Amino acid sequence: MSGFLASLSFAAPWVFVLLPLPLLVWKMAPPYRVRVPAIRVPFFQRISERLGLSPSAGATVRRRQLWQHLLGALIWILILSALARPQLEGEAVTIQKPARDLILAVDISGSMAQEDFTGADGQRLQRLAGVKSVLADFLEGREGERVSLIVFGSKAFVQAPLTTDLDTVLELLRQTEVGMAGPHTALGDAIGLAIRQFESSEVKQRLLILLSDGSDTASRMSPINAASIANQRDVKILTVGVGDPQGESENRLDEATLKAIAQRTGGNFYFANDQQALTQIYKEIDALVPKKVDTEIYRPRTSLSHWPLGIALLLSLLGLALTLQRSGRHLQEAST
C-alpha cells in the first residue's frame, strides 16, 4: 500500500484549492427560493386555532440530515480528485535517442576489385573485402546512432536509409559486391545523395564518411560543388582514400579532390593502404567525433481519473435514491 501511495501523483494538484468552495457558497449565497401555488381558505384562521398552529409569512427551509452533508462533501472531494488528474507512475524507463546521424558512402566501382589491400595477417585482399571487414567493426561501435549506407559506382544508391538497426546495415554491406553500381566513380553524386538523405534528419550533427579508391569520372555534379552545398547544410565530410595515388586512369587515387572535399566542410582526409591503417583511421575518427547519444529518462503514467469520477457518480445515485425513499415515506405518513 505504501508503494502504491508513493507512486501516486496528481497532474493538476492546484484543483484542490477549490475544496472550500461549497462551504463559501453555503455561507455567503442567498437561499434558493421556489414559489409554489397555494389555495386561499376563508376559514383558515379558525382551522389554525383548532390545530394549535401559529401561521406566519415566510419560506420553508428543508433541513438536511448529517449523512447528506457528509455524502455531499465526499462527492465533492471525489470530483476534485478526478479533476486533479490522479496518475500512477511506473518504473523509470531509459530511452536513448541519436544525437548524430552518420552516413557511410562506400565506393564499389570496378577498381575496388583489385587485390592490393593488405589484411591484418599480411595477406593480399580485394580492396572492398578489406574495407568491409574494417567497416563491420566500426559499425558495431555505433550502437545508439542512426546510420545510413550509400554505395556508388557509375551511379549512387541508398542501400540502407538512416536507421538504428545496425544489423540490417551490416548485412546489406556484406551483400554488396564490386560493380553492382557500375564500373566508374561518381563522387559528386554520392555526396548529393547523402545530402538528400540528411534532409529528413532533425539532429544538428550530420557526418558523412566518404570512402573511395578512384578519381571522379561519372558525376553529374562536381564533387567540390557538392561539398560546398553539404557545408551549407551543416554536413561534415570525412574522406578516406583507399588505392594507389600513382595508379593509372580510373585506378589512380585523386588525393587532391578528396582533400578538397573534406576541407570544404571542415572535415579531414585520411589515406589507407592496408587494413591496419584503415583500422587506425576509424579509431582516429572515433576520437575526433565520438559517438553521440542523448539519454532520456521518463516514467510511464497511468491515468486514474475515472475511478474517483465513477465512485462520485455511484454515491450521487445512492444519495438520490435514499432522498426519494425518504420523501416517499414522509408523504405516506402525511396521507395516513
Q: Which helix (H) or strand (E) holds 102?
A: strand 100-107
Give the bridge partners for 101, in sequence order. 146, 206
CB–CB of 127/243 below 8 Å?
yes
- CA dist 326 and 336 (Å) reads 16
pLDDT at 196: 92
302: Cα within 13 Å, side-chain hemisphere = 9
| Pair 134, 170: CB distance under 8 Å | no
Quick one: cell of 173? 554491406
The distance between the two most distant Cα atoms of the chain, rounded to a whole number of Å, is: 134
pTM above 0.85, yes or no: no
What parts of the chain have a pLDDT lower than 70? 1-6, 32, 34, 36, 38, 44, 53-63, 92-99, 144, 214, 247-251, 288-298, 327-336
| Alpha helices (H) along 265-305 | 275-288
Give residue 263's pLDDT.
92
What distance lies between CA 186 and its chain's CA centroid? Answer: 36
What's the pLDDT score for residue 5? 57
| Contact present, 86 and 211 (Cβ < 8 Å) | no
pLDDT at res. 280: 80
Of the candidates 200, 112, 130, the one whose C-alpha atom is nearest the C-alpha of residue 158 is: 200
Q: How far apart are CA 254 and CA 65, in angstroms?
A: 97
pLDDT at 330: 58
Read off the pLDDT of residues 59-76 as tens digits, 9 standing for 90 and up.
555 667 788 888 888 999
pLDDT tens readout for residues 77-108: 999 989 998 888 777 666 666 667 889 999 99
CA distance 281 to 203: 25
Which contacts of 52-60 are long-range, i.e. CB under 8 A and separated by 24 or more positions? 59/31, 59/33
CA neighbours within 13 Å on the CB side: how many for 240? 26
- Cα–chain center distance at 43: 83
pLDDT the model gives residue 148: 92
